[in-house]
């Protein structure tokens, strides 16, 4: 069958180029070409002809690299349509965007790809070895004094040798960038004099955000911004670091009806956006509109964008914002076997990419954690595990606060243990622990330091009278709201951060670290800093002594994870079977005896010993013992006696600020004191 949706956008030939645009509802379309010196002046218009598959096309010898162009479309005025033939619309497949002096957008024809990748290749890091580092492309280097000033806050700044050296020294494997598709600020923010800093308001799915490029690239002519972006990817790859993009395909910057019409709405509103029969938008994203992925054209637009970034730009993977929206059918109901979700998983052109879902949206039935399609050889979807986030915060923070207030913690240790071992109660046996992206924090919410310093959000600076942002933070301030000079509170907060980092980096699943948490970055209690583009959100490079100590702890934990495969199983184990690349788990209480129901569930028994042995497939045999103690009083623990174990070597203790000199030996059956609210990791021999 002919593929009518192939080669949309501009394709260059010997005699100029051809533009192909999909619209099932338009009655007329024209290509507008602008004067080379004045992008506001239409130099030529060319009627577009409708062909098979509702694809409109036009050719011109003037469609050459650098040519600025737009589309004007006419069509029905009945409910559900939004045609306005006076508007200049962006080609959804435009590979380049430029702005006029009046602020309008024009597509431009991108130059042929001649970028020299040299010997750079995708690192292709296995999921079990992956440590994600969620960062902002601007914020990560904006304050870095070792980056030349003109490159700070740019793609080139992220790829600067000092930034790369920091990431390599930390030990993370994969940089996950907040949105870098070209985006704009919402109309509401513009009126308030604020900006969208995070970037979840996409204008176009094929172009990098120009403001994150250096000034030299921004004014460097056709292709300069894209070259800087590719140069960033190249240098990160040469350093062995992967690049994952946070992509926003669930909605666009056209907002709700009455918002700016820049592209999809003006081309075919009825088919590109979810709506009711009377033309009202079905908004399951909370952003004004929802892309209608029940239509083949919208599905193909997303797939083609992913293919472009994965192949032409050599991106290593994608984190899909509000991914539940992508899996909704024509009735707006989520379907785990949705054609788009399966196509993203199975597309040969995406076979070497990581695919990660934020598995929810704000519509009915929007929480879909554990429901995304799996696949063979871990080629299925991985998902952000918010249950992991909340339970770990509760165990180390709110439960401790409740115990101080009432004398008893509200929860036992069982909920933590299930998630520590890979969340098998959430993800199917076939998907395994690599389906779970574990995180304590993300860009959205408190930083890790703020989790330990604030009981309430402090968002007045966002301009919404502190109404925005969640009130359900699962945080505990340890007795003072915000900054304090009380040494006992500061010590408790630091230990809590070490516990949270230890839990994250020693759990089965894929850990995601939020940039700055490794050294205790604060946003002063702001848990929704989406419109704060300044030092509040930029990564600080000047640290206090305690922050350097915490940074060293994070380095050590990442190294311990790398060196101990028992901490990062690929598959769930099965009782009575030896499953390759799984972990054989044995659970003991503080007496060194097998856990009983009361040990799991009792708020008075918040201590466990987790003995995990790898079942080797590609690495050497490894066995670890992790002790977790979730009460603030010290406890005496008897190390378990287990067949084949003759000694335990202490590798890390969260109660100690500097645990680099641990390496103490202990025998099975020996007793040791574990400090209140702390963790200890041993290698079992």
pLDDT digits (tens, 9 = 90+) for 268-308: 999 999 999 999 999 999 999 999 999 999 999 999 999 99
| Domain assignment of residue 646, given as a range | 565-574+582-684
Q: Using the 3D structure, point to which of 108, 131, 166 is the last residue of a domain.
A: 108
Question: Is residue 377 scored above 80 in pLDDT?
Answer: no
Question: Is residue 555 scored above 90 in pLDDT?
Answer: yes
490 φ, ψ to 5°? -60, -40
Q: Catalytic pick from 254, 358, 599, 605?
A: 358
Q: What is the pLDDT of residues 615-657, one digit of tens each?
A: 999 999 999 999 999 999 999 999 999 999 999 999 999 999 8
For residue 545, the model assigns a pLDDT of 96
Q: Which tokens is 68 given? A: 């600025």
Q: How far apart are CA 344 and CA 359, in angstroms?
A: 15
Cβ atoms of residues 569 and 422 within 8 Å: yes
For residue 577, the model assigns a pLDDT of 86
Q: How far apart are CA 348 and CA 307, in angstroms?
A: 10
Q: How far apart are CA 185 and CA 202, in angstroms?
A: 9
For residue 374, the model assigns a pLDDT of 92
Q: What is the pLDDT of residues 603-620, one digit of tens each?
A: 999 999 999 999 999 999
Residue with tokens 């970055």: 521
Q: How far apart are CA 227 and CA 137, in angstroms?
A: 16
Domain assignment of residue 474, yes or no: no
Is 386 tagged catalytic? Answer: no
Cβ atoms of residues 362 and 284 within 8 Å: yes
Q: Which tokens is 257 given? A: 């009806």
Q: How is the beta sheet containing 105-108 ordered, strand by strand? A: 9-13, 16-22, 55-60, 42-50, 28-34, 68-74, 105-108, 97-99
b or e along 234-259 (b: 16 or more beta carbons within 10 Å of the residue's beta carbon)?
A: bbbbbbebbbbbbbbbbbbbbbebeb
Under 8 Å CB-to-CB from 659, ≥6 apart: which residues? 553, 556, 652, 653
Domain assignment of residue 467, yes or no: no
Q: How far apart are CA 657 and CA 551, in angstroms?
A: 11
Residue with tokens 């050889």: 377
Q: What is the pLDDT of residues 393-435, one digit of tens each?
A: 999 999 999 999 999 999 999 999 999 999 999 999 999 999 9
Cβ atoms of residues 683 and 648 within 8 Å: yes
Q: Please state, in angstroms and as integers, the Cα–Cα distance from residue 555 to each residue in 170, 498, 499, 566, following that order.
A: 5, 12, 14, 19
pTM, whole model, 2 decimals? 0.97
Q: How far apart are CA 340 and CA 327, in angstroms?
A: 7
Domain assignment of residue 286, yes or no: no
Task: Tell me the angle at which helices 386-393 and 487-506 cross, rounded to the nearest 10 degrees.
Answer: 150
Domain assignment of residue 128, yes or no: no
For residues 362-391, give the mean pLDDT: 93
pLDDT-based confidence at residue 378 (cuts at 50, 70, 90):
low
Q: How far apart are CA 491 and CA 497, in angstroms?
A: 10
Cβ atoms of residues 609 and 682 within 8 Å: no
How deeply is 336 buried, as exposed, middle or buried, from its count of CB atoms within 10 A (0-12, 13-18, 19+)?
A: middle
Cβ atoms of residues 27 and 72 within 8 Å: no
Q: Which tokens is 243 given? A: 């690049």
Under 8 Å CB-to-CB from 256, ≥6 apart: which residues? 281, 283, 288, 289
Q: How far apart are CA 582 and CA 72, in angstroms?
A: 57
Domain assignment of residue 276, yes or no: no
For residues 528-541, give the mean pLDDT: 98
Q: What is the pLDDT of residues 294-347, one digit of tens each?
A: 999 999 999 999 999 999 999 999 999 999 999 999 999 999 999 999 999 999
pLDDT-based confidence at residue 661 (cuts at 50, 70, 90):
low
Q: Please state, in angstroms and as integers, the Cα–Cα distance from residue 278 to each residue in 191, 270, 274, 297, 598, following that order.
A: 30, 11, 11, 22, 57
Domain assignment of residue 613, yes or no: yes
Domain assignment of residue 389, yes or no: no
Residue with tokens 């623990």: 637
Domain of 616: which CATH number?
2.60.40.1180
For residue 659, the model assigns a pLDDT of 63
Q: How far apart are CA 225 and CA 229, in angstroms?
A: 6
Mean pLDDT over the full length of the chain: 96
Q: What DSSP string describes 234-269? A: HHHHHTT-EEEEEE--S--TT-STTS---SHHHHHH
Report the candidate in 382, 496, 388 with the shortest Cα–Cα distance to residue 440. Answer: 388
Cβ atoms of residues 251 and 290 within 8 Å: yes
Q: How far apart are CA 502 and CA 630, in angstroms?
A: 13
Cβ atoms of residues 547 and 501 within 8 Å: no
pLDDT-based confidence at residue 664 (cuts at 50, 70, 90):
confident
Is 321 tagged catalytic? Answer: yes
For residue 376, the model assigns a pLDDT of 67
Q: Using the 3D structure, point to which of 86, 108, 130 is the last residue of a domain.
A: 108
Q: What is the 8-class DSSP label of residue 331? A: T
The structural domain count of the chain equals 2
Q: Per DSSP, what are the bridge partners of residue 544?
A: none
b or e along 137-173 (b: 16 or more beta carbons within 10 Å of the residue's beta carbon)?
A: bbbbbbebeebeeebbbbbbbbbbeebbebbeebbbb
Domain of 38: which CATH number?
2.60.40.10
Q: What DSSP string describes 46-111? A: EEEEE-GGGEEEEEETT--TT-EEEEEEE---STT----TTS-BPPTT-S-EEE-TTS-EEEEPPP
Q: Which tokens is 168 given? A: 């390599």
For residue 62, the model assigns a pLDDT of 96
Residue with tokens 């056209």: 254
Q: How far apart are CA 658 and CA 656, in angstroms?
A: 5
149 φ, ψ to 5°? -55, -40
Q: What is the 8-class DSSP label of residue 146? A: T
Q: Catalytic pick from 242, 321, 518, 533?
A: 321
Q: How far apart are CA 139 and CA 216, in angstroms?
A: 19
pLDDT-based confidence at residue 236 (cuts at 50, 70, 90):
very high
Q: Please state, in angstroms and as integers, the Cα–Cα distance from residue 572 to each residue in 126, 425, 560, 601, following that order.
A: 17, 11, 21, 23
Cβ atoms of residues 469 and 608 within 8 Å: no
Question: Is residue 130 scored above 90 in pLDDT?
Answer: yes
For residue 186, the model assigns a pLDDT of 97
Domain assignment of residue 614, yes or no: yes
Q: Is 587 helix (H, G, I), strand (E, B) or coil?
A: strand
Q: Using the 3D structure, point to which of 93, 108, 123 is the last residue of a domain.
A: 108
Q: Which tokens is 490 given? A: 């500061």
């Amino acid at each position: 069958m002919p593929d009518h949706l192939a080669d949309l956008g501009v394709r260059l030939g010997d005699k100029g180029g051809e533009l192909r645009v999909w619209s099932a509802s338009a009655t007329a379309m024209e290509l507008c070409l602008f004067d080379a010196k004045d992008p506001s002046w239409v130099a030529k218009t060319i009627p577009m002809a409708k062909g098979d598959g509702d694809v409109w096309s036009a050719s011109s010898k003037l469609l050459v690299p650098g040519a600025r162009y737009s589309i004007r479309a006419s069509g029905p005025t009945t409910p559900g349509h939004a045609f306005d033939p006076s508007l200049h619309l962006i080609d959804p497949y435009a590979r380049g965007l430029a702005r006029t002096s009046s602020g309008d957008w024009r597509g431009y024809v991108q130059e042929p790809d001649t970028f020299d990748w040299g010997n750079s290749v995708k690192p292709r890091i296995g999921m079990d070895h992956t440590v994600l580092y969620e960062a902002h492309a601007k914020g990560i280097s904006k304050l870095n004094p070792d980056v030349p000033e003109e490159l700070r806050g740019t793609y080139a700044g992220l790829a600067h040798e000092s930034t790369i050296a920091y990431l390599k020294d930390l030990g993370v494997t994969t940089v996950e960038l907040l949105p870098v598709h070209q985006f704009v600020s919402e109309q509401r923010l513009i009126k308030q004099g604020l900006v969208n800093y995070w970037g979840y308001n996409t204008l176009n799915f094929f172009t990098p955000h120009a403001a994150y490029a250096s000034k030299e690239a921004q004014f460097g002519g056709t292709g300069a911004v894209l070259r800087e972006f590719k140069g960033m990817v190249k240098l990160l790859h040469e350093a062995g670091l992967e690049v994952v993009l946070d992509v926003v395909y669930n909605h666009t910057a056209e907002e709700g009806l009455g918002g700016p019409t820049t592209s999809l709405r003006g081309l075919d509103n009825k088919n590109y956006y979810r709506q009711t029969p009377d033309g009202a938008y079905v908004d399951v994203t909370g952003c004004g509109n929802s892309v209608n992925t029940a239509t083949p054209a919208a599905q193909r637009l997303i797939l083609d964008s992913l293919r472009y970034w994965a192949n032409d730009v050599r991106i290593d993977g994608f984190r899909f914002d509000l991914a539940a929206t992508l899996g909704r059918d024509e009735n707006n109901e989520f379907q785990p076997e949705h054609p788009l979700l399966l196509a993203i998983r199975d597309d040969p052109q995406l076979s070497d990419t990581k695919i990660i879902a934020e598995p929810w949206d704000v519509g009915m039935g929007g929480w879909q954690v554990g429901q995304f399609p799996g696949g063979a050889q871990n080629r299925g979807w991985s998902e952000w595990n918010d249950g992991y986030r909340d339970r770990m915060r509760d165990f180390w923070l709110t439960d401790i606060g409740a115990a101080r207030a009432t004398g008893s913690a509200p929860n036992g240790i069982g909920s933590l243990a299930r998630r520590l071992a890979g969340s098998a109660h959430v993800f199917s046996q076939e998907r395994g622990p690599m389906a779970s992206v574990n995180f304590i924090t993300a860009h959205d919410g408190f930083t890790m330091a703020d989790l330990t310093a604030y009981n309430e959000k402090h968002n007045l600076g966002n301009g919404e009278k502190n109404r925005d942002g969640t009130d359900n933070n699962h945080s505990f301030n340890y007795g003072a709201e915000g900054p304090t000079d009380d040494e006992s509170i500061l010590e408790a907060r630091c230990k809590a951060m070490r516990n949270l980092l230890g839990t994250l980096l020693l759990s089965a699943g894929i850990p995601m670290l939020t940039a700055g948490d490794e050294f205790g970055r604060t946003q002063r209690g702001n848990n929704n800093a989406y419109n704060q583009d300044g030092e509040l959100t930029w990564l600080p490079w000047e640290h206090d002594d305690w922050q350097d100590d915490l940074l060293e702890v994070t380095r050590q934990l990442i190294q311990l994870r790398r060196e101990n495969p028992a901490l990062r199983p690929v598959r769930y184990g099965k009782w009575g079977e030896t499953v390759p690349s799984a972990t054989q788990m044995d659970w003991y209480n503080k007496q060194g005896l097998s856990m009983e129901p009361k040990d799991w569930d009792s708020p008075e028994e918040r201590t466990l010993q987790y003995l995990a042995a790898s079942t080797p497939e590609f690495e050497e045999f490894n066995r670890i013992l992790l002790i977790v103690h979730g009460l603030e009083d010290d406890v005496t623990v008897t190390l378990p006696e287990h067949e084949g174990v003759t000694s335990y070597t202490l590798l890390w203790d969260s109660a100690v600020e500097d645990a680099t000199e641990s390496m103490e030996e202990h025998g099975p059956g020996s007793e040791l004191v574990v400090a209140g609210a702390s963790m200890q990791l041993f290698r079992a021999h």
